[in-house]
Amino acid sequence: MKKDLLCILDLSQEEILHLLEWTLKLKDLQKRGIPHRPLVGKSLGLLFEKPSTRTRVSFQAGMYQLGGEVIFMSPSELQIGRGETISDTARVLSRYLDIIALRTYRHETIEEFATHASIPVINALSDRFHPCQVLADLVTIQEALGNWRGIKVVFVGDGNNVAASWANLAARVDIEVVLATPKGYEPPKEVMEAARREGAKVKMASEVQEAVKGAQVVYTDVWVSMGQDKEREERLRAFAPYQVTPQLMEMADSGAIFMHCLPAHRGEEVVNEVIDGPSSVVWDQAENRLHLQKALMLMLLEQI
Ligand code: CP
Ligand code: NVA
């Protein structure tokens, strides 16, 4: 049976550990200039409703490095834009491609596509989850701190798709996650309930200075996600006390790292001094998307 990655809960702990191990192996091979091309003759589809820099380019470059081909599609260029259904599109694209990654507004679009596709489907970001991001972030934490077991990750700001994926990750690996968000901006109740049902050590907090105490990782993301531009003014007001500043970083564990999935809105959720400062690992985070997604494609195509 084909395997998809729509959210972190689709993976077992064993699969996550396998992915981490292969991510580091593939990174090492690439750094040493050793070609590894097991996907010659395979095609990856990228169907993106929203803009992307990291996800799009890292999937494309990653598939090329593994020997495969990539076909990029935006809905406006497909018959979806003229009313062909998601389910019919999924059935047809499954006849041409070997694997596909989708970036959509509604998470349900990816779920519907996956139901009707006969090839592995990857969530490359939806309004609800961003699983590839937090998997790659776990690799970055391992590299930066030497270990992620038992650490405290504090996500500061909006309870968005990235925050929800951290809640899910805590259900699969031994990390403590605190989501410090203003009231009314928590991840959806059903997402938090599902993560807790699966055993996640995840807490909510609204007092951000208190929340970051003892954190080894301080993480943030934009206050206005793609598709929320109409809410911009009220969001900027609600999130103003949640900016990551040097003073906030000082309240975390000594040696705490700063993480951001990017793109950053400098001067909003984080100031330059932090994102460009010595505790920031954001460029390693961006790089590890490439290596993690290569491992993910190999796993879903049953090559590892
Ligand atoms: N972090 C991330 O997914 O970035 P892009 O939107 O540029 O893909
Ligand atoms: N929460 C952000 C993440 C971008 C990678 C968004 O959805 O726009």
Proximal ligand: closest to the CA of 128: 2
Residues 188 and 123 in one domain: no
Interval 184-200 mean pLDDT: 97
What atom of ligand 2 comes closest to residue 225's alpha carbon?
Answer: 8
pLDDT in tens, 228-260: 999 999 999 999 999 999 999 999 999 999 999
Is 37 noted as a catalytic residue in this protein? no
CA angle 32, 34, 35 (to 5 degrees): 145
pLDDT band at 75 (very low <50, low <70, confident <90, very high): very high
Residues 106 and 137 in one domain: no
Number of structural domains the chain divides into: 2
Residues 209 and 293 in one domain: no
Residues 163 and 178 in one domain: yes
Give the C-alpha separation, 26 to 35, whole Å.
10
pLDDT in tens, 5-32: 999 999 999 999 999 999 999 999 999 9
Q: Is the CB of 222 under 6 A from ligand 2?
A: yes
Give the C-alpha separation, 129 to 24, whole Å.
24
Residues 14 and 58 in one domain: yes
Residues 179 and 108 in one domain: no
Q: Is the CB of 221 under 6 A from ligand 2?
A: yes
What's the pTM? 0.98
Is 221 noted as a catalytic residue in this protein? yes
pLDDT for the residue 136? 98
Q: Is residue 1 part of a domain?
A: no
Residues 290 and 278 in one domain: no
Q: With a cut of 90, say whether residue 210 has pLDDT above it.
A: yes
Residue in the structure block whose two tokens are 């050590």: 201
Q: Residue 267 is part of a domain; what is its CATH number? A: 3.40.50.1370
Q: Is residue 3 part of a domain?
A: no
Distance 195 CA to ligand 2 centre (A): 20
pLDDT for the residue 54? 98
Q: By residue range, what is the domain housing residue 103?
A: 8-129+286-300
Q: Is residue 2 part of a domain?
A: no
pLDDT for the residue 206? 85
Q: Is the CB of 160 under 6 A from ligand 2?
A: yes
Give the C-alpha separation, 1 to 89, whole Å.
20
Helical pair 13-31 and 282-300, crossing angle rounded to 10 deg: 110
Residues 188 and 269 in one domain: yes
Residue in the structure block whose two tokens are 């203003």: 182
272, two tokens: 């330059």
Q: Considering 4, 65, 98, 103, which one is annotated as catalytic?
A: 103
